[in-house]
Amino acid sequence: NGTLRSCGIPRLVTGALTLPYRPGTAYRIDGKVEVGQDLGPDAQNPRTGVSSGVLTIEPGVVVFGGIAEYLVVNRGSRMIADGTASRPIIFTSLNDLNGGPDLKGQWGGIVIAGRAPINRCPPTTTTFPANPVNCEYRFEAIQTINWGGNAANDNSGVLRYVQVKEAGYEVAPNEELNGITFGGVGNGTVVDFVQVHGGADDAVEFFGGTVNVRRLVLTEWDDDGFDTDEGYTGSAQYIINTSDRPSEEARCFEISGAGSTSGGLPLLRAHPKVSNFVCRLGLANSTFDSRQHQGLVLNGGTRADFLNGVIYSAHPSIPCIDVDGSSTMTEPRPTFASVALSCGAGPFRTTDNDQPTGPETLFNAGQNNIATGYTPTFSQGFINGSNESGRVAANPIPVSSFFLATTYIGAVSSLNDNWYVGWTCGLAGAASC
């Protein structure tokens, strides 16, 4: 609208490039922007003849793209997007900058590819290899992007105080990009204070890897808020995960162990660990299609630990928890501790699946869980009220050393707990998205 100067980002960033904050300037993703070239799966022996890159983005910078435009950080390269609470870094669409309505799928999104282990391996592999350089895979939506390797502590950079809005363009039929795609990303990467709003597919999806994340705000996604595949083993704490009117087969959490298998189990068994979360899916009057929707689904032989959380929905057709596949019930099983459920279709999905007793079995095996008799009393939909404050919290540290000690369930303990304030959009007291 004639108010911003547009500066193009090179389509290939090698060496070091900084996007400086300049009032009145926004930076354009032109087509496909790649940070570095793919250095391969072996951190000790990177490919020769290709170059790495480091893209640094200063606090307050706005980066935008149009239809079919997206940003890729390849294996062996990094993006340092380190904003502040008062000056977050914003990735958004041309539509948004031109003052258009709040729409989804207006640009591609961010893809980060790393060299941490994944469980997609060659067909002849029957056990997970000690040095899994051959266990690499391509992104289903853009098959020129590869991830996976042998470096659990791989470092793809920093995402801190970042917004990603209106992403998720469909690059092929039924193949959309996510707000942020993490493929084989290692736990040397920092992800903290990140919001993904209005994604046309998943807000965030983790394809294997070990990256840990903290303080995520995932709002108004269409498919899933937090999705895992291919052997993801990281930890996540303080997650606000809500969507009122998703248009696809929607879940706050779709936790899958999908990948290469042997004897019916994944070669590298997924093991996400999630503590202090709020899942709200659907309003009472939301209009959904005929597909299944749940607050949380576990499938594909995954392990998972869910602690100190709430899953709720006022919609009469949405249950809280679904479990699919006999391999998902194989020891060691998924666990729940200090989790409260309140869903219009009941706490568990017990029909049209092959594990009708699975959700209840797993849930009841845990401590301080409540499946019936709990009524949410949240302020603004995610800030704890009296019924949340009255629940007994589990100590999350024995589950993951990444977790911070906590004395409450949910993502935000009270009106005085303001970790989400100042850098997000669309929440209480924040600017609209």
What confidence score (pLDDT) does residue 342 get?
98
Q: What is the spatial distance between Cα 208 and Cα 119, in angstroms, rounded to a whole number?
A: 7
Q: What is the pLDDT of residues 1-50, one digit of tens each?
A: 788 999 999 999 999 999 999 999 999 999 999 999 999 999 999 999 99
Q: SS3 for 97?
A: helix
pLDDT at 351 over 90: no
Confidence class for position 190, pLDDT limits 50, 70, 90:
very high
298 Cβ contact partners less than 8 Å away, ≥ 6 residues apart: 255, 256, 304, 321, 322, 323, 324, 328, 334, 362
pLDDT at 172 over 80: no
Q: Give the residue with greater pLDDT, 81 vs 100.
A: 81
pLDDT at 290 over 80: no
Q: Give the residue with greater pLDDT, 1 vs 426.
A: 426
Tell me whether strands 25-29 and 62-65 are parallel, antiparallel or unpaired: parallel
- Looking at the chain, the whole-number percentage of residues with pLDDT higher than 90 is 86
Task: Show me where the domains of the chain are located.
Answer: 5-389
What confidence score (pLDDT) does residue 429 get?
74
CB 225 within 8 Å of CB 251: yes
Q: Give the residue with greater pLDDT, 126 vs 64.
A: 64
Neighbour tally for 94: CB within 10 Å: 19
Confidence class for position 141, pLDDT limits 50, 70, 90:
confident
CA nearest to 181, candidates 193, 169, 172: 169
Q: With a threshold of 0.95, does the pTM exceed it?
A: yes
What confidence score (pLDDT) does residue 14 get?
98
Highest mean pLDDT among 100-104, 120-124, 328-332 belongs to 328-332
Average pLDDT, the chain: 95
Q: What is the spatial distance between Cα 241 and Cα 258, in angstroms, rounded to a whole number?
A: 22
Q: What is the pLDDT of residues 230-244, one digit of tens each?
A: 999 999 999 999 999
pLDDT at 119 over 90: yes
Q: What is the mean pLDDT of residues 135-157?
A: 94
CB 312 within 8 Å of CB 320: yes
What confidence score (pLDDT) does residue 140 get?
84
CB 41 within 8 Å of CB 4: no
Q: Which two tokens stand for residue 423?
A: 């850098």
What confidence score (pLDDT) does residue 353 get?
86
Q: What secondary structure, in 3-state letters, does 147-190 show?
A: ECCCCCCCCCEEEEEEEEECECCEEECCEECCCEEEECCCCCCE
Determine the number of helices (DSSP H) and then strands (DSSP E) in the chain.
Answer: 3, 30
